[in-house]
Amino acid sequence: MPMPAPDSTLRFRWLWWSIAALGLALDIYLSLKPAGDGPGLLNDKLAHFLVYFMLTGWFCLLLPRRRLLVFVAAVLLGGALEIAQSFTPQRVMDPLDALANAAGAFIALLIVRRLPVNLLAWLETKLP
C-alpha cells in the first residue's frame, strides 16, 4: 500500500488547515456556549460521534504520520470540553458524550488508516 502523502506535499494546505481550524473552533464554541434547545438524547450522541469522526478524519489526512497522536488529542479534547461544560451556564458534563466523541474519533482513525490514498492529495489532483 502506498504511503500517504505528507502534509508538505499538499498544494492547498493553507485551505485544508483553514478548514481544520474552523471546524475545531466551531466544535469548541458549540461545546461551551450556553445550552439552548438541543437535539434529543440519540441525536445528541450521534452529533458528538459525527463531529469527532469528521475532525479526527480531517486531521488524520493533514497529519498522516501522526494519526495516533491526532486520535489521542481528539479524545483528550472531547473529555476536556465535557469537563469545561460543568463550568458553563446551562450545560452539564456527560461522560456518554465523551464516549461518543472517542468512538467517532476511533472509527475515523480506523477508516483513514485503510484508505489507499490521502483523500486531500487525491482531491488536489482533481482541482485546477
User: Tens digit of pLDDT for each residue in 14-24?
Assistant: 999 999 999 99
User: Tens digit of pLDDT for each residue in 24-62?
Assistant: 999 999 888 887 655 555 588 999 999 999 999 999 999
pLDDT of residue 43: 85
Rounded CA-CA distance 78/28 in Å is 9
Instruction: Tell me the whole-structure pTM to 2 decimals.
Output: 0.85
Rounded CA-CA distance 97/13 in Å is 31
pLDDT of residue 128: 81
Please check whether residue 107 is in contact with residue 100, taking contact to mean a CB–CB distance below 8 angstroms. Answer: no
Q: 3-class DSSP state for residue 71?
A: helix
Compute the average pLDDT of residues 62-85: 96
